[in-house]
Structure formats: structure tokens, C-alpha cells
Amino acid sequence: MNKVKGALPMIAFAFAAFAAFAFSPKQTSSEQWGQDNGVWYNATNMTPGVDYVCDSEIESHCLYDSPDPDRNPITPGEDKAFVKLP
């Protein structure tokens, strides 16, 4: 019984370490991408209204977290389309 009592702090520490990694938030993407006429633009350092605009368009998204096929919209319910300004 004393062996089990002595191991309890180590078991609690191992569980706390597991929980810290298992329940920590995922790293968020800091890049923003927009597609205009089939071309992907990295909009991370672009200025909205100067370099691009997000025009209203049904069933479309302005900015994504990557240009990859498994991309996710940054603001899912916005219904706007990315338009690169000249």
C-alpha cells in the first residue's frame, strides 16, 4: 500500500502533463489568402481597401487560411468574394 501511495504524485504529474498537451489549443494560422480569377494572393501584408476588397457575393468567402485544397475560410459566414485591386 505504501508503494502505491508513493507513486500517486508521479501518476498525478504524468496525467497533468498529458492533459496540458491534449487540451491545449491548436496553433492558429497567421496567413490570409484570397483568390481572384483563379489566382491565389497572399493577403497577409496587404491593406484592405487599398490592395484588395471583399465584395458581397452569395456562397463565397473572402479570405482563407491557405491556398491548399483543404483550406478553411477565416470568417465562414461573411459571404464576400476577394477582389485584388490594380
Residue 29 near residue 44 (C-beta atoms within 8 A): no
Would the pLDDT of 13 be above 90?
no
Report d(CA 83, CA 62) in Å as an integer.
Answer: 8
**Secondary structure (3-state) at 55:** strand
Length of the chain: 86
* pLDDT on residue 14: 84
Residue 43 near residue 54 (C-beta atoms within 8 A): no
26's enclosing H/E stretch is none
Query: pLDDT tens, 29-80?
Result: 588 999 999 999 999 999 999 999 999 887 888 999 989 888 888 887 788 8
Report d(CA 73, CA 86) in Å as an integer.
Answer: 24
